[in-house]
Structure 1
Amino acid sequence: MKPRKWKTLRSDVAYSTPIFDLYRRRSTHARRGERDFFILDAPNWVNIIPLAKNGDVVMIRQWRHGISEFTLEVPGGMVDPEDPSPMHAARREMVEETGFDSDAIVELGKVHPNPAIQGNICFSFLAENVRQVERVV
């Protein structure tokens, strides 16, 4: 049997924050009937792997409120409205968070980070031969 698509009947903002909006989406399905789904509407994200000439990966330690812990991770963040492209956003985040920059940035790919409840895309990049251009504290 061929899977059938859900049809959106209506979608309303249930809650709004500076980072995302939560929508209540009423949908219908030929076999499953009508149901409410909750969707997070968030901006696209970027991650970038800063790779030094010696093979070291530049990472950052950040406090993450979701888990109330520090994490060690590659730089990344949201694509801001004023960013001309996801690659620009990735480079901006890398310089802001690590103080390192590169003239050799390539896109590795993109994924939907959580397609069950989000429609945004996460773009991943590699920055080769990074060099320190400013001090970040």
Structure 2
Amino acid sequence: MEQEKQKLMYRCKIFDVWEEEVSLPHGKSTRQSMIDHKPTVAVVAVNDKKEILLIKQYRNAVKQHLLEIPAGTFDHDSETPLLCAKRELAEETGFDAANFISLFEGYLLPGYCNEYMYFFLAEGLFPAPLPPDEDEFIEVLPTSLPDAQEMAKNGTIIDAKTALGIILAVPYLNGKHSDKE
């Protein structure tokens, strides 16, 4: 499929919305909307008690407070995934980590959005607070791994990136995976 025409419909600080005319394999074309999103990170942060640091924050798009892992958007094009993960962890939890392990990277909603997310496990936490974003009011909730897994299963955690982050971290946290593999 080939893009014929593209029109910017909306722009904000983290994404643009485009309307595109796309040529289909059978010769016809269709109009599709696409969100062009800056890259993002998500961090499964684990303290010395082997608790995952979940954060509770209000999400206006779904009109409720959600339990999530720390996450956020690249500040600028030259920011690396690791630097973004370190910054978001510090802004949202007040911690940095001695060890970051890359867990996964990929597209979140490729049907209409090119948001690409990098998942990290962060261990060896130490205090390193950064001021939170002006629109963030976050409560940090240390949660045991079994409790976090159960919360993802029973619907207490309804944020997909958080459920995926927990699933990805389990082999590392249960000692069944070596980051040297």
Normalization by structure 2: what TM-score?
A: 0.68
Aligned with 2:94 (options 81, 84, 99): 99
Q: Distance in 1 between matches of 2:130 and 2:25?
A: 58
Please give the residue correspondences for 1:15-26 in structure 2 after superposition, counting only pairs within 5 Å. Answer: 15-26=10-21
Q: Distance in 1 between matches of 2:87 and 2:78?
A: 9
Normalization by structure 1: what TM-score?
A: 0.88
Q: Distance in 2 between matches of 1:121 and 1:30?
A: 26
Q: Is the 8 A contact 2:87 2:130 kept in 1?
A: no
User: Bigger shift: 11-20 or 44-53?
Assistant: 11-20
Ranges of 4+ aligned residues in structure 1 off by more than 4 Å: none
Alignment pair present for 1:42 and 2:37? yes
RMSD: 1.8
Q: Is the 8 A contact 1:24 1:39 kept in 2?
A: yes
Please give the residue correspondences for 1:1-137 in structure 2 after superposition, counting only pairs within 5 Å. Answer: 6-31=1-26, 33-81=28-76, 84-134=79-129
Unaligned runs of 5+ in 1: 1-5
Structure 2 match to 1:3: none
Q: Alpha-carbon deviation of 1:100? A: 1.3
Report the 3-state secondary structure (helix = DSSP H, G, I; strand = E; otherwise coil) of the residue aligned with 2:52. Answer: coil
Q: Alpha-carbon deviation of 1:85? A: 0.4
Count residues with an aligned counterpart: 132
User: Structure 2: which amino acid aligns with 1:49?
Assistant: V
Q: What per-residue deviation string (whole Å, max 9, x for no partner) do you get for residues 25-58 of structure 1?
A: 1011132611100000110110001111221011
Q: Is the 8 A contact 1:83 1:89 kept in 2?
A: no
Bigger helix fraction: 2
Q: What per-residue deviation string (whole Å, max 9, x for no partner) do you get for residues 46-96 of structure 1?
A: 000111122101121111011111111110100110653011101100001
Unaligned runs of 5+ in 2: 132-137, 139-181
